[in-house]
Amino acid sequence: MKKLVILISGRGSNMEAIVKACRAEGWPAEVAAVLSNRPDAAGLKFAAEHGVPTGVVDHKAYPSREAFDAALQAAIDAFAPDLVVLAGFMRILTPGFTAHYAGRLLNIHPSLLPSFPGLHTHERAIEAGCHASGATVHFVTAELDHGPMVAQAVVPILPGDDADTVAARVLKLEHRMYPQAVRWFVEGQLNVEGSRVRVASGASQLFTA
């Protein structure tokens, strides 16, 4: 039985989707904890109500990014996870932290990487004249919003769209894609070959509306 620790900073809708799918689909895994860097993160309430242990490592209580990451790492490792899942965790992680969890740290980013790393992704895609936007699940490395890509979700950018309407359309696919990507991991189906990730079952790694 694999153990998962999920990190959130806000409402944690992708965390909710993972918790629900793990239980409903009978994965060989359990969500051992949901941790946040913000004590007011709304997702902590959902986790507690569903019997998932929660914890807070408030980044404001630490003098440096390195000190915060060390405390966060200690909190995570107390649960001995096989996989750490970033689900709207709004902190840039240090190279030492990402190295500690190399090969077992997943993130979801709201763009079709390698395009538009960083913030305001859908707004930037619209401004660039893109006809599509989306999200990417990837393994985390020291380089921000890089790392081998597990899956991508694509939605059209329609006339009259703004960043919010695109984000809402993408989020629906994120709630399908991220649980599936985590399930592939816990079932041992992900094979990383350099910068490419393949699913042993041959399942599609592209999600569309």
Please say if 109 is a catalytic residue. yes
Q: Tell me which of 50, 59, 100, 109 is the catalytic residue.
A: 109
- Beta strand 132-139 pairing with 149-156: antiparallel
Give the span between the Cα atoms of 128 and 142, in whole angstroms: 27
Phi-psi region of 9 (alpha: psi -120 to 50; beta: other; left: phi over 0): alpha
* Alpha helices (H) along the chain: 13-24, 43-49, 65-77, 95-100, 121-127, 163-186
Give the span between the Cα atoms of 167 and 165, in whole angstroms: 5
Residue bearing tokens 């630490």? 62
The dihedral sign for the CA sequence 145, 146, 148, 153: positive
pLDDT at 54: 98
Which residues of the chain, if any, have pLDDT below 50? none
Query: Can the peptide bond before residue 81 be classed as cis, meaning omega within 30 degrees of 0?
Result: no
pLDDT at 209: 83
85, β-bridge pairs:
6, 106
Residue bearing tokens 């401004």? 127
Q: What does the pLDDT look like over 101-141, one tens digit per residue?
A: 999 999 999 999 999 999 999 999 999 999 999 999 999 99
pLDDT at 79: 98
**Percent helix / strand / coil, the chain, rounded to 5:** 35, 25, 40
Does the global pTM surpass 0.95?
yes
